[in-house]
Structure 1
């Protein structure tokens, strides 16, 4: 079971999730223990769920076209859309940075 750490307002929120979990889907059905996860449409259109990956990026698939379109140059700085990620490994994310 992957361990997920989300940094929000300078504090870590940590828990385990089942393999193949999407954080935005879990948050939307209120089965995710991170009430601080910011998200919107869940389809890669609004980019409200943008997170900077602090650890575990090596286990993620390459960014898809939605992430490339919405995040552009921020991809190189480690940004990803949480709604586009299905987790199979431990990951540490932050939404503390500017999301513009």
Structure 2
């Protein structure tokens, strides 16, 4: 089973495969800040210090709230991120949390419409 190291709070928990970072923090008192749990507020923004290869892919909501710059620096939203297959170390700061909470979501370019089959 993978471990999540909550470096900022100094807590580590062994978690089931495919566990959500925020849910595990709430369950085991990992102290990751949170408010909405749905990728809207940005309170659970965390930096992936190690183990990014053990995370699922970035969700649309994360792209909108964090933007490519923060994503490229290793930031993810704990409420949207799942751990599988290996250990992950995360940290967070009040400065980044406050910045992301105030940030307006980016508007993603609309995907090209797929061809609709007529019946």
TM over 0.5: yes
Structure 2: 5+ residue stretches without partners: 100-119
More helix by share: 2
Aligned mate of 2:79, from 76, 83, 95: 83
Q: Which residue of 1 aligns with 2:54?
A: 59
5 Å-filtered alignment, 1:1-100, equals: 1-8=1-8, 12-28=10-26, 31-34=27-30, 36-72=31-67, 73-88=69-84, 89-96=86-93, 98=95, 99=97, 100=99
For residues 19 and 26 of structure 1, what CA distance do their matches in structure 2 show?
11
The number of aligned residues is 95
Computing the radius of gyration from Cα coordinates, the structure with the larger value is 2
For residues 64 and 83 of structure 2, what CA distance do their matches in structure 1 show?
21
Structure 1: 5+ residue stretches without partners: none
Provide TM-score, normalisation by structure 1: 0.83
Structure with greater contact order relative to length (CA < 8 Å, sep ≥ 6): 1
Runs of 4 or more consecutive aligned structure 1 residues displaced over 3 Å after TM superposition: none
CA RMSD of aligned residues (A): 1.6
